[in-house]
A and B are shown apart, each in its own frame.
Chain A
């Protein structure tokens, strides 16, 4: 669920190139012969990920998810008798490189299928290349409005719903409260990012329609290191509710600024960053998290299709505990689940079959049961979570909740 992004820098590819030249001189590269796609040849899947550069950590989480799925499916004998072979290449977080990479994968390495890249900002150029060559494009990371505005028939966003809808579950919860307990006023600070500010806009539209007054609304840039001025301006308007369209580190900054100013709204929702089980308490302090709402697509405790197997396989392969698994890994794994299901149902795994099959019916993944509209947006919903006694728990909708939402003063409030 993370879509990190930096303002000033995006690719270090150029510089890396000089270094890479040295590598080339040092090791003579052996070109792999590309195998023809016979029925027992391995099923080659091409993926470009950001393994160096700004998006590299989530890129690695995605890689772990893809590789875990490949191991799992190969242990079962592969797909339709074909072993899955992943070609994972690095796009150094650069759009120029990602286009070249998918072209390489499709026209040079002749992969059978492609999965989407990380990060979200690279999804659009990459999906155009897949479209050009008629490849299905299952992508776990790009769910902004412009991705779907491309109207690509071959694209499938493997998360419960477009990113815009991520805050809907919080709006649903607020509107489910009896009128007397609803907040009267709200503030909407949001990061200037295609995957953050639309969330706050959507919640604002719905809450305004229900009569909750907007008293503060602000966009802040990604490179802002200090949100204290924003929070102090917001505090002066005394909103009952703050809905932050946050991404990652800006969520930490917002909470830190509130703590510094000793100001807390009655309710605080942060779209992303606050749903990071490890880094959020690490950056804002474990004693400052209780009561904060967030939402997301996948959590270790989800009761979705195959989740128990995913958790045990993941911890067996990579160690650690279920609580440290990044949702990005689950998103990537889900792409593979879809492939398996389509193959099992239709007996085929070619791109045309994938595209037509996924556009009909509903398919099970770690992300829930998904079905897609013509533009590749899924029609499910996110889960509302809240930090309760130092743990992040699903609290809404009731069907997926493990605890009732708690309305209490935030820990640092006066």
Chain B
């Protein structure tokens, strides 16, 4: 009995994860209603974003509030590249995503190198300041971005009944990429180095851990996924404005989902996104008209912080472990 439990603990979550992923792959084929696929699409986007954020904010303990800037850069790069081109079969814009992800990451590395001279709360402020700088540039570099007028992309020529599918699978691919990165980081020396950074960076440095390289690698990986998600988002909406593409609330959303699910865990951010994102889409649609919305949100947010400061997964895991220890 005990051994079986042990084996379950070892393989169970992985198997459950695989089953979940299989369900996600089948979902848009099984469910034909476009609105449901749209909900799925945005849920996957947030799950990918939260998992990517977790690489920096969770594992390394550097809470970036500037990730929406990289999302926006990805969105703008995609939109600007395609604005005067035709989408052809409609799949072309997906193939420009990987180079865009890498290019934005290349921009992000020097930014991170500067920002990571500070830590925790100051780092958070520096990164959100960076976000405002990028947003201002999106408004002001009118020749490039179209400024406040926004920039249009070609509208994808997919048939209405299955219009969302390609976007859905693109987001799913990004989530898998983010999870693969997280898994790889967790099970590598990079993960060890990041854990050391999160614990006590100065001590880690003094014993020879390549602190700088570890932090920057995590940041760059995280940005690759974030920027590509921005690109898919831009293509799906086909028209973007600076204040929506580079939205500080997107950053806060990533943080919220990661905190809700559990920082520094593989599945926590996914859990957080799968709870928050669909609820948002559906419930704003159903119950949105109440002004008390913000108030109720603020109250609940505070309760979560006070009751489950480490997130749902670690809190639950602790409970189970304690219960077992007592048994």
In their complex, do chains A and B touch, with some C-beta pair under 8 Å?
yes
A residues contacting B by CB (< 8 A) are 5-24, 29, 51-52, 56, 88-92, 94-97, 99-101, 103-104, 107-108, 121, 124-125, 128, 132-133, 144-146, 149-150, 192-194, 197, 221
Kindly list 8 other residue pairs between chains A and B, CB separation below 8 angstroms, not including A14-B276, A18-B276, A221-B139.
A15-B301, A19-B293, A20-B279, A51-B288, A97-B280, A133-B160, A192-B147, A194-B148
Is B114 at the interface (CB under 8 A from chain A)? no
Least CB distance, B90 to chain A, in whole angstroms: 13
Asked if A9 and B38 make an inter-chain contact with CB atoms under 8 angstroms apart, the answer reads no
**Chain A residues in 8 Å Cβ range of B238:** 125, 128
Q: How would you classify the secondary structure of chain B's contact residues: helix, strand, loop or mixed? A: helix
Asked if B149 and A23 make an inter-chain contact with CB atoms under 8 angstroms apart, the answer reads no
Indicate whether A145 sits within 8 Å of B285 (C-beta atoms), given known contacts A17-B277, A103-B38, A132-B160.
no
Closest 3 CB pairs of A and B: A90-B288, A17-B280, A20-B283
Least CB distance, A44 to chain B, in whole angstroms: 15
Chain A proximity mask over B133-172: 1 for CB below 8 Å, otherwise 0: 0011001100000011110100100001001000000000
Indicate whether A194 sits within 8 Å of B149 (C-beta atoms), given known contacts A6-B243, A8-B243, A15-B256.
yes
Is B241 at the interface (CB under 8 A from chain A)? yes
In the complex the two chains form, what is the Cα distance from A94 to B277 in whole Å? Answer: 13
Asked if B239 and A146 make an inter-chain contact with CB atoms under 8 angstroms apart, the answer reads yes
Asked if A5 and B243 make an inter-chain contact with CB atoms under 8 angstroms apart, the answer reads yes
Asked if B275 and A97 make an inter-chain contact with CB atoms under 8 angstroms apart, the answer reads no
Is B35 at the interface (CB under 8 A from chain A)? yes
Asked if A101 and B285 make an inter-chain contact with CB atoms under 8 angstroms apart, the answer reads yes
Indicate whether A97 sits within 8 Å of B249 (C-beta atoms), given known contacts A15-B297, A132-B160, A194-B150.
no
In the complex the two chains form, what is the Cα distance from A24 to B149 in whole Å? Answer: 38
**Chain A residues in 8 Å Cβ range of B299:** 19
In the complex the two chains form, what is the Cα distance from A207 to B38 in whole Å? Answer: 48
Which chain A residue has the least Cβ–Cβ distance from B136? Answer: A221
Indicate whether A146 sits within 8 Å of B148 (C-beta atoms), given known contacts A18-B297, A52-B293, A100-B39.
no
Q: Can you list 16 A-B contacts (CB < 8 A)?
A: A8-B135, A8-B243, A11-B244, A14-B250, A14-B252, A16-B293, A51-B288, A52-B284, A90-B284, A94-B244, A95-B237, A121-B241, A125-B237, A146-B149, A192-B140, A193-B148
Q: Which residue among B33, B136, B286, B301 has the maximum number of chain A CB atoms within 10 Å of its CB?
A: B286
**Chain B residues in 8 Å Cβ range of A150:** 152
Asked if B132 and A8 make an inter-chain contact with CB atoms under 8 angstroms apart, the answer reads yes
Least CB distance, A72 to chain B, in whole angstroms: 22
Is B287 at the interface (CB under 8 A from chain A)? yes
B residues contacting A by CB (< 8 A) are 33-35, 38-39, 42, 132, 135-136, 139-140, 147-150, 152, 155, 160, 163, 233, 236-239, 241, 243-244, 247-250, 252-253, 256, 260, 275-277, 279-281, 283-291, 293-301, 304
Asked if A107 and B33 make an inter-chain contact with CB atoms under 8 angstroms apart, the answer reads yes
**Chain A residues in 8 Å Cβ range of B135:** 7-8
Least CB distance, B270 to chain A, in whole angstroms: 16
Asked if B284 and A20 make an inter-chain contact with CB atoms under 8 angstroms apart, the answer reads yes
Least CB distance, B40 to chain A, in whole angstroms: 11
Asked if A21 and B38 make an inter-chain contact with CB atoms under 8 angstroms apart, the answer reads no
**Chain B residues in 8 Å Cβ range of A221:** 136, 139
In the complex the two chains form, what is the Cα distance from A133 to B161 in whole Å? Answer: 9
Least CB distance, B235 to chain A, in whole angstroms: 12
Asked if B38 and A99 make an inter-chain contact with CB atoms under 8 angstroms apart, the answer reads yes
Indicate whether A24 sits within 8 Å of B283 (C-beta atoms), given known contacts A103-B38, A132-B160.
yes
Which chain B residue has the least Cβ–Cβ distance from A194? Answer: B149
Indicate whether A13 sits within 8 Å of B275 (C-beta atoms), given known contacts A19-B297, A125-B238, A128-B155.
no
**Chain A residues in 8 Å Cβ range of B236:** 99
In the complex the two chains form, what is the Cα distance from A145 to B250 in whole Å? Answer: 28
Asked if B289 and A51 make an inter-chain contact with CB atoms under 8 angstroms apart, the answer reads yes
